[in-house]
Amino acid sequence: MIVVTDHIHPDSQCRLPAVGIAASRETLAKKRWRATAADHVEFGFDLEHPLAHGDLVHRSESAVYRLEQLPEPVLETPLGGDPAQAALLAWRVGNLHFPVELAGGFLRVADDPALRRMFEREDVPFRGAVAIFQPVAAATPHSHSHG
């Protein structure tokens, strides 16, 4: 097993084929985990900080290994042309403590029944999709008191 402690920097001269290491968003958020690459090479991750989709983690004589985040069910709603409405929508989602991603004119969130109900109740147009969800880092779940 190859142990990874950090990502490696891309080398513009490297012409090796890329081999994917598939992982969920939740797995990529961890500091210790295991995975098997598409070519069956086993990896163990012992990290100081989580890695992200697209990070290169190992180079061998025959390949470079890249993390590939698995797509997941998401809800997308257009941000529209009104900044105040977009800010209000982002605040409402954030107030429910859900992470958000701003992606190409859309607000993207994990597909969750509570968010579906809120969007329907507030007449917010949305669509279900399957995508690689990369929420804003500052919007990750945290713990605090509202008291």
Identify the residue with better confidence: 141 or 86.
86
* DSSP assignment of 13-68: T--PPEEEEEE-HHHHT-SEEEEE-TTS-EEEEE-SS---TT-EEEE-SS-EEEEE
Q: Record the pTM.
A: 0.81
| Euclidean distance between CA atoms 38 and 55, whole angstroms | 15
Could you read off the pLDDT of 15-63 as tens digits, one per residue? 899 999 999 999 999 999 999 999 999 999 999 999 999 999 999 999 9
Q: How confident is the model at residue 138 (pLDDT cuts 50, 70, 90)?
A: low
| Euclidean distance between CA atoms 25 and 3, whole angstroms | 20
Copy the structure tokens of residue 125.
């147009």
Whether the pLDDT of residue 139 is over 90: the answer is no
Copy the structure tokens of residue 129.
């999709």
Mean pLDDT computed over 120-126: 92
Whether the pLDDT of residue 119 is over 80: the answer is yes
Q: How confident is the model at residue 144 (pLDDT cuts 50, 70, 90)?
A: very low
Q: How confident is the model at residue 104 (pLDDT cuts 50, 70, 90)?
A: confident
Domains (ranges, CATH) in the chain?
A: 2-69 (2.60.260.20), 72-139 (3.30.70.790)
Q: What are the backbone angles phi and psi of residue 30, rounded to the nearest 5°?
A: -85, 160
| Euclidean distance between CA atoms 15 and 31, whole angstroms | 29
Neighbours of 120 (CB within 10 A): 10
**Cβ-contact 15, 61 below 8 angstroms:** no
